[in-house]
Amino acid sequence: MTKNKQQTAVEWFSVRRDILEIEVRLGKLSPIEYAEELTKAEQQAKAMHKQEIIKFGCLLTQAPQHIIEEAYNETYGGGEQ
C-alpha cells in the first residue's frame, strides 16, 4: 500500500538547499548566485508554510480561510514572507 504523503515546506526547502549546494560544488552556481537562489527558496518555503498553516487551521476549526488567514497575519505579521 502506497501513501500519497505530500512534502512539507520544510522538507522542500531542505532538498532545495541541498541541490543548490551541489550546484555550487559542481561549479554550476557561483557563491553569489547560491545566496540569491537560497534567499528565493527561503521566501518560497515561508509562503508554502503559511499556506500549510492556513489549510490546517481551516480543517481543524472549520472556519473560513479568510478568518484563519487574518489570525495568522495578526500572529505572524501580514507582510510579504
Q: pLDDT per residue over 7-65, tens digit each?
A: 999 999 999 999 999 999 999 999 999 999 999 999 999 999 999 999 999 999 999 99
Name residue, grid cell 478568518: 67
Domain range for 31 is: 9-76
Report pLDDT for 81: 46
Q: Which residues contact 10 (CB under 8 A, 6 or more apart)?
A: 45, 49
Q: List the end-to-end C-alpha distance of the chain, in Å, as a whole number.
A: 37
- Whether 80 shows a pLDDT value over 70: the answer reads no
43 within domain boundaries:
yes
What is the distance between the alpha carbons of residues 29 and 41, in angstroms, rounded to a whole number?
15
Residue 21: all three cell numbers together: 549546494
* Count of structural domains, the chain: 1
81 within domain boundaries:
no
Residue 27: all three cell numbers together: 561549479
